[in-house]
A and B are shown apart, each in its own frame.
Chain A
Amino acid sequence: KQEVTQIPAALSVPEGENLVLNCSFTDSAIYNLQWFRQDPGKGLTSLLLIQSSQREQTSGRLNASLDKSSGRSTLYIAASQPGDSATYLCAVNSGYALNFGKGTSLLVTP
């Protein structure tokens, strides 16, 4: 069974800092990896999707990388803002559905 781990579980940074969220998975036989954002009481918003053949994807201030062989992905957030405060979830697709990590709760302080 695919196990997905996210470190750290919680992170607090001052506004303007660049930061990295980590995701690791146990089985490298994946189709893709997806990063989501979840605000309190809300659904999941897709941020980036990386196919297994890709090394990274970028959207605005976000950059996600994938190293399939080592079972790792990182989400880089540049110049963090208070509006980036949310829980970030990593999910791995190894077949018919996604396996999720438990998320990193990010707080960006003004």
Chain B
Amino acid sequence: DAGITQSPRHKVTETGTPVTLRCHQTENHRYMYWYRQDPGHGLRLIHYSYGVKDTDKGEVSDGYSVSRSKTEDFLLTLESATSSQTSVYFCAISESTGSGELFFGEGSRLTVL
């Protein structure tokens, strides 16, 4: 299994509070991704990173920000959580874009009340 750790695995928070999810990898892969998974929508890309301090937006980036200060860590921040951000969040890594295989973490389940 690819060495990907997400934390926290479960979190319940209230509307308006900030939340940060962490993804840590031990594979030294260049590319890292944050997806969210919702019933009826499948998996959708939020943000991705192609190197330290290099990030870009995905399909559903509104309300989210990311940071990558080290190769191994990719943080997803909800500045002011809303109920629509209740979801399961998955981190993924890849050695290369285009031809590379993606490996996923176990997910972080976030509930915003």
Indicate if the CB atoms of B102 and A96 lie closer than 8 Å. Answer: no
Whether A65 is near chain B, meaning CB under 8 Å from some CB there, is no
Interface residues in B39-57 by Cβ distance below 8 A to A read 40-45, 48, 50, 56
Interface residues in B78-113 by Cβ distance below 8 A to A read 90, 92, 97-99, 101-107
Write the nearest CB–CB distance from B40 to chain A, whole angstroms. Answer: 8
Indicate if the CB atoms of A102 and B42 lie closer than 8 Å. Answer: yes
Indicate if the CB atoms of A43 and B56 lie closer than 8 Å. Answer: no
Whether A34 is near chain B, meaning CB under 8 Å from some CB there, is yes
Whether B58 is near chain A, meaning CB under 8 Å from some CB there, is yes
Whether B33 is near chain A, meaning CB under 8 Å from some CB there, is yes
Q: A96-B50, A96-B56 are in contact. Are A42 and B107 (CB under 8 A)?
A: yes
Write the nearest CB–CB distance from B11 to chain A, whole angstroms. Answer: 15
Q: A42-B106, A42-B107, A97-B58 are in contact. Are A49 and B101 (CB under 8 A)?
A: yes
Contact with B along A79-110 (1 / 0, CB 8 A): 00000000001010101111011110000000
Interface size range on B against A? 20 to 34
Indicate if the CB atoms of B102 and A91 lie closer than 8 Å. Answer: yes
Task: Point out the residues of chain A lying under 8 angstroms from B42, CB to CB.
Answer: 89, 100-103
Task: Point out the residues of chain A lying under 8 angstroms from B58, CB to CB.
Answer: 97
Q: Please report the C-alpha to C-alpha distance between residue A51 and residue B58 in the assembled complex, in whole angstroms.
A: 23
Whether A44 is near chain B, meaning CB under 8 Å from some CB there, is yes
Indicate if the CB atoms of A43 and B106 lie closer than 8 Å. Answer: yes
Write the nearest CB–CB distance from A73 to chain B, whole angstroms. Answer: 15
Whether A76 is near chain B, meaning CB under 8 Å from some CB there, is no
Q: B: which residues have CB within 8 A of A?
A: 33, 40-45, 48, 50, 56, 58, 90, 92, 97-99, 101-107
Closest 4 CB pairs of A and B: A44-B104, A100-B43, A102-B42, A43-B106
